[in-house]
């Protein structure tokens, strides 16, 4: 199969990881947000990836159709209960004095961010390898 298929697959991987980094950055920025337009505290967001085939045409072989890139299907919100902190002086505290804080663990988000960065770099490495192989192939018969 052609070399540009690798480019397409890796490019989709990179785009997906960028989206994931954006979501993680959003989570980190809102780690203390108690007020949102929908009401309630900020809810942790996560991404859902889906494998999509890069070759669509029916005439392509079975092998080609199994080559899959990645696509962000949806961004889901965490549905667990928010953390309740006792803080009656806060304007958003409810009548018992409890404040609902987002259920975001800083360490977890930092580690997720590292993983997303490494995945992004891994996609770049894959693409550079494919490009290197193509350039080397051009040396045949030089």
Partner 1 sequence: MNINDITQMQTFSSGINKGIEQKAPMDEGSFGNILKDSIQKIDGLQKEADKAIIDLSSGKSKNIHETMVAIGKADLSFRMMMQLRNKITDAYQEVMRMAV
The binding site for partner 1 (CB under 8 A) comprises 2-4, 7, 10-11, 14-15, 18, 124, 127, 131, 134-135, 138, 141-142
8 and 64 in contact (C-beta within 8 Å)? Answer: no
Q: Where are the beta strands (DSSP E) in 78-129?
A: 83-86, 98-101
DSSP state of 64: H
- C-alpha span between 93 and 110 (Å, rounded): 28
Which token pair is 138? Answer: 């051009």
CB of 138 to partner 1, least distance (A): 5
CB nearer to partner 1: give 15 or 28: 15
Q: Would you call 6 helix, strand, or coil by DSSP?
A: helix
- C-alpha span between 99 and 91 (Å, rounded): 9
CB of 113 to partner 1, least distance (A): 18
Q: Where are the beta strands (DSSP E) in 4-138?
A: 45-53, 68-77, 83-86, 98-101
CB nearer to partner 1: give 14 or 23: 14
CB nearer to partner 1: give 1 or 106: 1
CB nearer to partner 1: give 13 or 102: 13
CB of 33 to partner 1, least distance (A): 24
CB of 7 to partner 1, least distance (A): 5
CB of 67 to partner 1, least distance (A): 16
- C-alpha span between 38 and 82 (Å, rounded): 15
CB nearer to partner 1: give 29 or 135: 135
């Amino acid at each position: 199969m052609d070399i540009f298929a690798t480019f397409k697959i890796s490019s989709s991987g990179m785009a997906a990881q960028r989206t994931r980094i954006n979501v993680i950055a959003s989570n980190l920025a809102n780690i203390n947000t108690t007020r949102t337009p929908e009401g309630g505290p900020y809810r942790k967001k996560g991404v859902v990836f889906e494998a999509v085939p890069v070759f669509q045409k029916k005439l392509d072989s079975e092998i080609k159709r199994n080559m899959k890139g990645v696509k962000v299907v949806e961004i889901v919100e965490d549905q667990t209960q928010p953390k309740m902190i006792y803080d009656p002086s806060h304007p958003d505290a409810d009548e018992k004095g409890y404040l609902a804080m987002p259920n975001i663990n800083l360490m977890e988000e930092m580690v997720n961010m590292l993983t997303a960065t490494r995945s992004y770099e891994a996609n770049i490495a894959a693409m550079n390898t494919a490009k290197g192989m193509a350039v080397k192939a051009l040396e045949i018969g030089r």
